[in-house]
Structure 1
């Protein structure tokens, strides 16, 4: 499994006027040709809402290219990349095919899948599609995050290459379904929370679900 990335984007939070409200968000990232990837993320990249983004377990945001085609068909509207505020985009890395703990090389860096993305309302507001957020959550087509195991230089021609797989039970999509929809499946929640490579913030959320 190896594909050249189709987009490399970074950006800092800016004020956006959405539906008459001013919101601070970094969703409006811009393409870049080359950038250093550190344990804290790409140099020059940052987040606006730390509840859903940022931190070492969420250093890199990925969104699958195929979903663009689906959402454009469904909503009859073109979406300009990076519509989902992703740092990188590539084909053939759908949530159902990528597993928590998967390790990839990206340019000179080594990165590991840590969690699915918990999307926020900025997705709908930024793209001016009211139902987009709810559909992303419903389908589990959220994209996902990586932590950085080895820092390195990444460019717009870099290849995302799978180099190790830690487990084959919990794909990103399976994890999303447990997090968003299987609130009463205690066994699945408990087992998923014990995946060593899962981001700590997700482990905490799952443990809270169990304790309720």
Structure 2
């Protein structure tokens, strides 16, 4: 793990000088307790599109920071995208939906790719959102299977790989760029661990793809 970060919603001034209440600005921590609902002292402002047991933990690959820093000629702050955990060696191309990981004594399961929102751009002042969607470098969300204390120096280890092997990047590519890929949509829907919200979205895509094919 590179960074552990938590934070509750607060009012910020956006890059365009407007006020926004958001939980995206998180502070790095040495340790925090992880419950089924997420980290203690961590919360979201928009509960319709964020949070909940299927989206209790937000993770982002550390490897992408170098690309965004180069692309936007900046130095992004830690947890720049509002993620709880910034991790190395866990890119969207390596992590599959349904994979289970241990972090210290806790256990989490990947449930869906993250759908980036405009709050990222409003905080940072760069058009990161469209680039996340273009590349599929969105990060991903997890549910908690075993609660416990998490430390910033804890190792993240694979517990169980999902048998279907659908990577977050593959699912992101279908979701954002190939919504008429019926076979691909069905592969995603076959994942038992898929978050309910994403299941509904992919079911809708499948319905549309079948009626327009």
Unaligned 5+ segments in structure 1 are none
1:153 paired with 2:131, answer no
1:43 paired with 2:40, answer yes
1:176 paired with 2:166, answer no
Q: Which moved more, 1:177-186 or 1:113-122?
A: 177-186
1:54 paired with 2:51, answer yes
Question: When the two structures are superposed, what TM-score results if normalisation uses the length of structure 2?
Answer: 0.94
Q: What pairs up with 1:1-212 in 2 under 5 angstroms?
A: 5-18=1-14, 19-129=16-126, 131-212=127-208
Q: Which runs of 4+ in 1 moved over 3 A?
A: none
Question: When the two structures are superposed, what TM-score results if normalisation uses the length of structure 1?
Answer: 0.94
Residues 1-25 of structure 1: per-residue CA shift (max 9 Å, x gap):
xxxx111100001112222432211
RMSD: 1.1
Q: Which moved more, 1:77-86 or 1:12-21?
A: 12-21
Q: CA deviation at 1:114?
A: 0.6
Q: CA deviation at 1:168?
A: 4.4
